[in-house]
Structure 1
Amino acid sequence: MSARAGIVVTGTEVLTGRVADRNGPWIADRLLELGVELAHTTICGDRAADIEAALRFMANEGVDLIVTSGGLGPTADDMTVAIVTQFCGRELVLDTELENKIAAILKKLMSRVGVGAGDFDAVRAANRKQAMVPAGAVVLDPVGTAPGVIVPGAPTVLVLPGPPRELQPMWRTAVELPAFQQAVAGRTVYRQDTIRMFGLPESGLAETLREAEQDVPGFAALEITTCLRRGEIEMVTRYEPDAADTYRRLSDYLRDRHWQQIFSEDGSQIDDQVAQLLTGRRIATAESCTGGLLSARLTERPGSSAYLAGGLVAYANEAKADLLGVDPALIDEHGAVSEPVAEAMADGALRRFGADTAVAITGVAGPGGGTDDKPVGTVCFTIALTDGESSTRTLLLPGNRSDIRERSTTVAMHMLRQALG
């Protein structure tokens, strides 16, 4: 078994959601890269008993390394170092060399805003707390004003600051030090592969994996997680190198059963694939219920200006007629949410922007807008190509307004991939 680690993110502002946790996921990725198994991540407020309880829980779980983030400032609610010192059975001592380093940083910062020497002495005294470290700890020099520490032991505790701009460079320093390397000496180099599927319900994949557990030798050596994201299934498998053949057999097993739904086995996302397929082309969008989300998604990749000719968001029927040239009689006959109107919107986008590829989406995403014939979630799509066949389809998508809009963009991306590929 590989070396194991736990992450303790401190901060009441993170616990309550006022500040999103960016450090936990970032550290988790770095641990994976190192071959260290992440056992647990916990978030706790700035309360001494809760921080100590989190540390105790990690230790009882048998982790080799605990990484904490946050709580290293000069104020009363910044108590991580003191609690870690107590947890590790150490004495809190003043590091005078560290105090001088912090003072030099503070003096430089305060000189920029014209703070006088008398004020500086008061600030230095207030920040002396940051120079108090566990006896025998390895001190990590500040990136901002807060130092970090590594406290060797069983488990070893790595204490890092909260701001990501300070935590990340300090992490890179810490992982090179002997105290850190000794803590994770049992680490294993893991492999991680991702398979992405579209058009397959999670229950369908779950059934296949249950069968694979019986049919694929060594299946237990694979750690598999599945996630439904933007209407796609993302299956991430982590394994040690000696289980590579088992993963290959599982991949073959999935491919035999779901080859039509698997669109990526190399980690690429649908957005990457569509961007590649649009090389040398010019695409235009005409959106109604998605409010420009597809156009925004197409521009997320670098170089999108080379292939995105333009996009229109047209909710009102008058806008569809005036800006896209949709015949009002067509709307009267079939309704704004209909395949004929979607096709007319795509043709209008081709003409207006001089494009060779167009996507049109029109549907009922919001509550109160549906009918018996066209309930909420009814969405019509058209992909129009000047040098190939056009395709149109209507789907009934589940979820609330946000879900329907997001899933609509995913459907459109996959229709684009099929049309262009």
Structure 2
Amino acid sequence: MNVRAGIIVTGTEVLSGQIADQNGPWVAERLLELGVNVAHVTICGDRPDDMLAQLEFVAGQGVDLIVTTGGLGPTADDLTVAIVAEYCDRPLQPDADLAGTITDIIRGWGRYPSDEDLPDSIQAAIAKQALVPDGADPISPTGTAPGVAVPATGTLPTVLILPGPPRELQAMWPDALNKPAVAEILERGDDVVHETIRAFGLPEPDLAQTLRQAAQDLPGYDLLEITTCMRGGELEIDTRLPRSAVRHYAALKSLLLQEHSDRIYSPDGATVDELVADSLAGRTIATAESCTGGMIAARLTDRPGSSAYTLGGIVSYANEVKTGVLGVPTELIDELGAVSEPVAAAMADGARTVTGADVAVSTSGIAGPGGGVPGKPVGTVCFGVAIAGRPTATVTRRFPGDRALVRTLATNYALHLVRESLTADDSADG
């Protein structure tokens, strides 16, 4: 059965762009994993008329479930529960057990001893947050704001009300899924499989041509829901499919590998960060970064257990640090400039020497918006990769975009360069 859902993200601060929406994409991804098709993700401010209009719009699309996020706090503009109750024609009722739970959480902060009366303002806030639509199922708070599962009412779909802070929402999610009104819908979800293929350096037009070929030649192609996304210089090929169509996906994957094996670096969805970590097994790495300013080191250390292979990094933004810490010869910089392959090589070699790492990667470039010179325009980045027992490799690339994009693309390219260098190194040793 095709189960559909809509997501309403509430919050004037999200609508105005003060805070980026994290909840809509996260909830959508979780629902898709559960076999629920997400029809709409909308954002509206904390205004009753706008919230009612969004509920009416999403419900009018024939969804089985509406998930709202935000607007569950104690302040006057936190109106989600009251608006949903009005929309579903379910009067609000005080829930004594829920009020007790919220009270215990607040007393647990240590500000109000158990023998001390809570201030009137706090008691009023607790009473507001402990109101539940008649017949709805409260969800224990993971902050102070409880969630609510409102069963379907006549022609209206089930409404799942969740808090706005992403940490609270994500912590509440497992409990929310077990509420009977939500669980019943999920039981009707499709048995779906989600597969990802990652490519680096594969142009989208080339992929589009292959997919057109697949649509013509491969039986069952229409059962595959394929989405492509260019992100950080990588091309992600995401496919959702019913489990019964696994053999059709296998045929598509085989065709993609046949046509683009030199560009597909991850046929099973593993990220470049994961593959670099795997390739470093038994080896250590260090970084020497100029234009990327520590972004490569941040990526390397983002994964749990990264201390097993990451020794450290040097942000050698100034030439004095390149020479004084990494040992790059001053005359090399004077003659060729800091943005040059020989300097990038010397930086990588210096990082290995200073840290004792088996592998080092370096960047030196012009991220912009200024600093470009003839022959070295903005976006030019030189890379170096030093591996023990091997000649230090260098390469220069020019990246498009503003400063932030150039730095992001250079960071991702550096990780792919490390991955490719380690793979080639292992092949040569083998």
Deviations 1:383-416 (A, max 9, x none): 1222234322111111111111121122211111
CA–CA separation in structure 2 for the residues paired with 1:311 and 1:122: 50
Which deviates more, 396-405 or 111-120? Answer: 111-120
Instruction: Name the structure 1 match of 2:22.
Output: 22
Instruction: Name the structure 2 match of 1:261.
Output: 263
Unaligned runs of 5+ in 2: 424-430
What secondary structure does 1:300 align onto? coil
Instruction: Name the structure 1 match of 2:321.
Output: 319
Matches within 5 A, 1:382-401: 382-401=384-403
Matches within 5 A, 1:74-153: 74-88=74-88, 90-95=89-94, 97-98=96-97, 101=100, 104-105=103-104, 108=107, 112-114=111-113, 120=119, 123-125=122-124, 127-153=126-152
1:105–1:145 contact (8 Å) kept in structure 2:
no
Equivalent residues, number: 420
Instruction: Name the structure 1 match of 2:246.
Output: 244
Unaligned runs of 5+ in 1: none
Instruction: Name the structure 2 match of 1:38.
Output: 38
CA–CA separation in structure 2 for the residues paired with 1:105 and 1:143: 12
CA–CA separation in structure 2 for the residues paired with 1:100 and 1:334: 70
CA–CA separation in structure 2 for the residues paired with 1:119 and 1:309: 51
What secondary structure does 1:324 align onto? coil
Which deviates more, 250-259 or 158-167? Answer: 158-167
CA–CA separation in structure 2 for the residues paired with 1:111 and 1:393: 58
1:3–1:185 contact (8 Å) kept in structure 2:
no
Matches within 5 A, 1:1-400: 1-88=1-88, 90-95=89-94, 97-98=96-97, 101=100, 104-105=103-104, 108=107, 112-114=111-113, 120=119, 123-125=122-124, 127-153=126-152, 154-400=156-402
Deviations 1:288-328 (A, max 9, x none): 22222222222222333332333222233333222222223
Deviation at 1:264, TM superposition (A): 0.5
Aligned residues: CA RMSD: 2.5
1:107–1:120 contact (8 Å) kept in structure 2:
no
CA–CA separation in structure 2 for the residues paired with 1:50 and 1:313: 48
CA–CA separation in structure 1 for the residues paired with 2:416 and 2:106: 57
Q: Report sequence identity in percent.
A: 54
1:103–1:124 contact (8 Å) kept in structure 2:
no
Instruction: Name the structure 1 match of 2:428.
Output: none
* Closer/same/farther in 2, CA of residues 118 and 401 from structure 1, 3 Å limit: closer
Which deviates more, 356-365 or 18-27? Answer: 18-27
1:320–1:326 contact (8 Å) kept in structure 2:
yes
2:136–2:151 contact (8 Å) kept in structure 1:
yes
What secondary structure does 2:325 align onto? helix
Q: Aligned AA for 1:16?
A: S
- Please report the TM-score for the alignment, with normalisation by the length of structure 2: 0.89
Q: Aligned AA for 2:307?
A: S
Deviation at 1:265, TM superposition (A): 1.6
